[in-house]
Chain A
Amino acid sequence: MLAKLFEKLKLVWTVVNRPSVHYSLGFLTLGGFVAGVIFWGGFNTALEVTNQEKFCIGCHEMENNVYQELQSTIHFTNRSGVRATCPDCHVPHNWTDKIARKMQASKEVWGKVFGTINTREKFEAKRRELAEHEWERLKANDSLECRNCHNFDYMDFTRQSKRASQMHSTSLASGEKTCIDCHKGIAHQLPDMAGVEGF
């Protein structure tokens, strides 16, 4: 059985290894190009699929915890009818960032397989750690995802509440603080905040 398989593999190798006699160089180049386009497209399509909320809440870990909590917040329903979905806040739109995030997502597949957060209790126990990853990321990119929708340059302070405009025109305007410094827990419940700066 094993020997047979080995024979087959050997045959395949010799075919692949032989210089092409039947196909022109031009055809091969063109074919390679087409294959490349298909591969690239497929890759991007895969990215598109994994960039939808449906994909995220396909996992009960995501659906039963954070998605339920999101539904009562302003980012789910509001007077303007604009919805923020999971990838709006969690996957950078910039392509290179996107790949970096997807690489990290492999960790989540690992977590799925080994059930790191597969019950509410485990999720709550790990929540501070997960939240800290997100805070770190948003702090590092100056809350890029928030700013994709909320552009500081177009904020009309006169239309904001006094509390909001006071903060936005000082600490935020000076660049001393970024959105996530003040707006933690905007989309989900907070973990135990003991020791977090500002709490």
Chain B
Amino acid sequence: MKKNKKTLSPRQLYLRKIKLDKSKILIIQIAVLVAFVGLWELSTAVGWVDSFFVSSPSRIVRTFADLWKQDIMKHIGITLLECVLGFLISTVVGVIVAILLWWSETFRRVAEPYLVVLNALPKIALGPVIIIWAGANMNAIIMMTFLICIIVTVMSVLNGFMSCDKGKIFLLESMGATKFQILTKLILPYSVPNFISVLKINVGLSWVGTIMGEYLVSGAGLGYLIIYGGQVFKLDLVMASTVILCLLAALMYFSVCLCEKLIARKRRTSK
């Protein structure tokens, strides 16, 4: 082993160190998770804390199994549908609005104070209004998700557009470009990295919107299960649903990351 180490070049040593560091971090991450779950289980098993109040990993697993036999897939499906729809609609509409605002300075200046105020407004305050307009159904939840995401989307995407180098716009103008060409040849491709970070923020926000919406109205979905579980003091149900929620949110986040990787491979944006 020692002899082997001597024959390695500095480069190989360096690469090996990177690899070792990477596995070290991963091992610690896993250890933290195992320790947390283990301690939780242990403290409820020994009776330090009451599993009625904090549930426990084994009870969560059992609840999982029970839910699996029942209609958990329906609840997951509904919540996922609401979240993804709200996410997609607010992203598409947000980008379109941002393009319009970029296009017209008048529109931009008129809209600015409204955007600022709407951004500061806690969207949950609109709950009753949403229920009256959209009805106490899935539409209300999607609308809540939409409202939470849309303003942030518009503002961040527009900021990205506006941060484009004036010199590049100047260059295109000197070539005789129309405004539409400046948009398609410069502003949009330039904004792709910013757009992706907006998507990542929106993943988080759309889950906030969906669960908040389900707290307000709903007869199904993970948010509904959590509320219901809380009301009837079934902490196991609350915890199990929360764990599923974590997994789904992670899944959606990593899908966006995957998109990012695919795009980066296609474009290889350097520096």
A and B interact physically = no
Interface residues of A (CB under 8 A from B): none
